[in-house]
Structure 1
Amino acid sequence: MRDGSRWVGVAAAVFVLAGCAADPGPAAPADDCVKIVEEGGTETDRCLPLAPEDGRVDTGTPRFGNPLRVTNPLHPTGIVRQTIYGGQVDGKPFRTEVTLLPERKIINWGGHRIDALESQYFALSDGRIKEVALDWYAQADDGSVWYLGEDVFNYEDGEVVDTDGTWVAGADAPAAMIMPAHPAKGDVYRPENKPGVVFEEVTVSATNQTVDGPSGPIEGAITVSELHMDGSREDKTFAPGYGEFSTGNADGDHEAASLALPADATNAPVPPTVDALATAIRRATDAVAGADWAAADTATAAVAKAWTAARPEDAPLPLLTRQMDRDIDTLTTAVSQRDAGGARDAALRVAQNELDVRSRHEAVDPTRVALWARQLVIDAAADDQAAVAGDLASLKWTFDRIRGDVPDPAAVHRTLTALGEAVEQGDLAAAATEARKLG
């Protein structure tokens, strides 16, 4: 799930920064035909069924007097520290961690500099890295939120295979509205809008909706229909305090918010039951890694028992609960079948879920760094080069979130550099030695 995907069309917007108009070029004319682009990049001679031009609300002249104050309730990028999404894509468990980074991005557009928030989108398929994007957002003075570009890194077998979807406002295209200030039914806007590369056109379907959230009902949500450049449509829900809340449907690919911080945070300390769950998961993971199947049987049963005790009592967390149930069942089955690879992956997902539960009580990204370091050691022992490469990438991206909070980031950087060199040389034993310094 991401605000940006692959896009087509040019936004007809100019902006005013600090009260001074700056025109990046003539406004784009209405699109007579935006060609459908099939998966794989083949452009057809068929046109997308675009909404009438007079329905668009993204062709005005936004002002960016305080662009870093991104507080639109339906796209609160400046307020939400982190959102965890879960679901399935292509029949596999899919997980996304969206984190507001401390860095700011300066976008040069129309001869002016716009300060933008930077958000890290980190997606995992079956627990393993699939895509990372750095997305840039700014809020106009009227409360609308604008998308100013993204750096995209698509992964296969732990390695970057392409950067398709990367763009920057000004260098490649104008900025694009991603959320109106006050969306109304029938509003049309284009969150991404570059001909022949990526395209999304959104039509607001309903407003003032109530949805079931992780901590209870959420009022004031909207639903939209999103048209993609391949001609497909996708339904999405946006909710106050979360932003993008859900997409797809339960019968196919779907994702939804498992929890968001601070919306689902609590001031209560970590319950002892959650600590006990973490201990049980660690023992099961170690037993699986050591192929001690008798111990793994016992430890996995202990995980299931510990999870029963650790289920949050103050919030339903329905999606996270279903995911943990599913992943523990998968782990139990893999252990009973002595499926080492399946058990390793399932144990990783169970550990990720436990950290999600814990995140409501305390910051867990430092622990996520340690988790990836330990997973690298496990995958190195299994002689799984692709998994180790993915663990290293995941470790680096997760460390980027906490770099400013680490007492000696230079030391961590040196370890990551040595670790990367070992992985590149295929020396998994040396890679494991370096990873132990972080786990």
Structure 2
Amino acid sequence: MRAAAGLAIAVAGALLAGCGASQDTGAPIRRVDTARPSFSEPTVIDNPLFPVSPGGQTLQLGTEEGEPLRVEVTTLPRTRTITWDGRRIDAVVSQYVAYRSGRVVEVALDYYAQDDDGGVWYLGEDVDNYERGVVADHEGSWLAGRDGPGGLIMPAQPRPGDVFRPENIPDLVFEEVTIQDAAVTVDGPRGLVDGAVATEEHLMDGTVEHKVFAPGYGEFRAETSDELVQVAVAVPADAAAGAVPAVLTQLAGGAARVYDDAGAGLAVGASVDAMTSAWRDRPDDTAPPALAAALDDALGRLSGAGDPTAVRQAAVDTATAVLDLTLPYRPPAEVDGARLDLVARQLAIDTETGDVAGQRSDAVAIAALRDRGAATR
């Protein structure tokens, strides 16, 4: 996102010049982010298409350049005061953590505020980009007031043809978004979700990204030429009443037992078979589809693993998939506490195999979990 500003200007000009209508919808193109926003209660962000809920957490799954991509987005229990345009604005802090093939590639803190009309504004982000477990750069970092203006990231009532710039700082960051459709239906983790919004986003480096924002979820799907990621589960949107299903408790215990037994050189075949049968014969099939598919895949790898190290790695992956399925039933901080235990097991594997980059990535993951208030036992 550090391409030349000239490209950004050219992109913006192309979007706003000419016939003045969206080529996809025929709707008139109009900038909706030029008025000065007022912020009376900026930390109450209840815009249905971009909710930032206290205690909220979203898990997105997908691929990037052919590798598995996992994104965890968590609202942190703190705010940050940002001075922009002569005003001190309290912003909600959201933590973004991206894993590629199981290793941390980005940790960012994003700052959001809602204006008095219900529009959500993006007031900056602090970004750490990682390579082999070490900070490579901070590309994409910016802050409203210090570097330039804040940007509208979701209007209160988006309409086809609406244009706005969540990021708009020359030589640093630029994004221009056009609403293409405001009546989309998406297949959510718990069923169909109406009233979603489809957008086209042009970035400073020339990338074109298509996104869908869904009520109760916010950013639901994002797609570029080499990346596709979509919400697998989110709370509070997918919160479920009652206790964690018994089959998930059984699978979590089985994965822990397989991990320990494989490390001790014991046979694990019977335990793996029991886990596979329990999941296959579960009494209901209400699990979010993407999470169910992830567990199917992990159990398949566990069944096919040969040497003890491969078995232990597959057991950690299986336990992670099981834990994700418990998120609708448990507070995110409690789930994150259990994730800390799994990262500790991953760290043990990486230490035994001499994977230094993996060990560093594990340390970053632990720090991120602790920053968002992971409950420890």
Report if TM-score (shorter chain) is over 0.5: yes
What residue in structure 2 maps to residue 36 of structure 1? 7
Instruction: Supply the distance in 2 between the matched residues of 1:361 and 1:124 (Cα, whole angstroms).
Output: 24
- Which whole-Å deviations, capped at 9, do the CAs of 1:331-373 have from their partners, x for residues lacking one? 434x14x484x65554433222211111111121111122222
Partner of 1:88: 63
Letter in 1 for 2:326: R
The answer on 1:131 being equivalent to 2:131 is no
Q: Pick from 75, 82, 86: which aligns with 1:111?
A: 86
SS in 2 for 1:360: helix
Q: 1:206 to 1:225 in 2, by over 3 A?
A: same
**Match in the other structure for 2:320:** 352
Shift of the alpha carbon at 1:8?
A: 7.4
Note closer, same or farther for the CA distance 1:36–1:305 as it changes in structure 2 (3 Å cut): farther
Partner of 1:238: 213
Which residue identity does 1:301 align to in structure 2? D
The letter for the 2-side match of 1:286 is: D
- For 2:71 and 2:284, the matched residues in 1 are separated by 21
| Amino acid aligned to 2:129 | N
Q: 1:28-57, CA deviations, whole angstroms, 9 ceiling, x for partnerless residues? A: xxxxxx5238xxxxxxx9756642176211
Structure 2 counterparts to residues 310-321 of structure 1, below 5 A: 310=282, 313=285, 315-321=286-292
The answer as to 2:167 corresponding to 1:167 is no
* Superposition deviation, residue 138 in structure 1: 0.1
Q: Say which SS state the counterpart of residue 279 (structure 1) adopts.
A: helix
* Matched length: 363
Is 1:257 aligned to residue 231 of structure 2?
yes
Aligned twin of 1:52: 16
SS at match of 2:372: helix
Post-superposition shift, 1:328? 2.6
| Matched letter for residue 378 of structure 1 | I
CA distance in structure 2 between the aligned counterparts of 1:390 and 1:258, rounded to whole angstroms: 23
Structure 1 position 229, deviation (Å): 1.6
Residue 67 of structure 1 pairs with residue 67 of structure 2: no
Q: CA distance change for structure 1 residues 310 and 118 in 2, over 3 Å: closer, same or farther?
A: farther
Structure-1 residue corresponding to 2:370:
399
Given residue 254 of structure 1, which amino acid in structure 2 is its aligned partner? L
* Structure 1 counterpart SS, 2:176: strand
Q: What does residue range 97-246 of structure 1 map to in structure 2 within 5 Å?
A: 97-246=72-221
Deviations 1:160-195 (A, max 9, x none): 111111111111111000001100001111111111
Query: Could you tell me how far apart the structure 2 residues matched to 1:374 and 1:175 are?
Result: 41
Alpha-carbon separation, structure 2, partners of 1:161 and 1:309: 46
Contact 1:71 1:79 in 2 (8 A): no
Unaligned runs of 5+ in 1: 1-5, 10-33, 38-44, 407-437
Could you tell me which amino acid in structure 1 is paired with residue 343 of structure 2? W
Cα pair distance change 1:309/1:396, threshold 3 Å: farther
TM-score, length-scaled by structure 1: 0.76
Does the 8 Å CA contact 1:56/1:187 hold for their aligned counterparts?
A: yes
Q: Is the contact made by 2:263 and 2:308 (CA closer than 8 Å) also made in structure 1?
A: no
Partners of 2:282 and 2:343 lie apart in 1 by 23
Q: CA deviation at 1:282?
A: 1.4
In the alignment, structure 2 segments of 5+ residues that lack a partner are 18-28
Distance 2:13 2:209 in 1: 14
TM-score, reference length from structure 2:
0.88
Q: Secondary structure at the match of 1:209?
A: strand
Residue identity over aligned pairs, in percent, reads 40
The answer as to whether partners of 1:50 and 1:201 remain within 8 angstroms in 2 is: no
Aligned with 1:143: secondary structure?
Answer: coil
- Offset at residue 309 of structure 1 (A): 4.1
Q: 1:151 to 1:181 in 2, by over 3 A?
A: same
Aligned 8 A contact 1:78 1:117 in 2: no
Distance in 1 between the 2:95 and 2:84 partners? 22
Q: Which residue of 2 aligns with 1:13?
A: none
Q: Deviations over 1:292-337 (max 9, x none)?
A: 4x72444443433333245863x3511111222223333434x14x
Label 1:275 to 1:208 Cα distance change in 2 as closer, same or farther (>3 A).
Answer: same
Aligned CA distance change for structure 1 residues 138 and 257 (closer, same or farther; 3 Å): same
- The yes-or-no answer on 1:279 pairing with 2:253 is yes
1:376: how far off?
A: 1.7
| SS at 1:374 equivalent | helix
1:304 aligns with 2:272: no
CA distance in structure 1 between the aligned counterparts of 2:295 and 2:358, rounded to whole angstroms: 22
- Tell me the residue number matched to 1:268: 242
Between the aligned partners of 2:322 and 2:36, the Cα distance in structure 1 is: 46
The answer (yes or no) to whether the contact 1:85–1:256 under 8 Å persists in 2 is yes
Matching residue's letter, 2:49: L
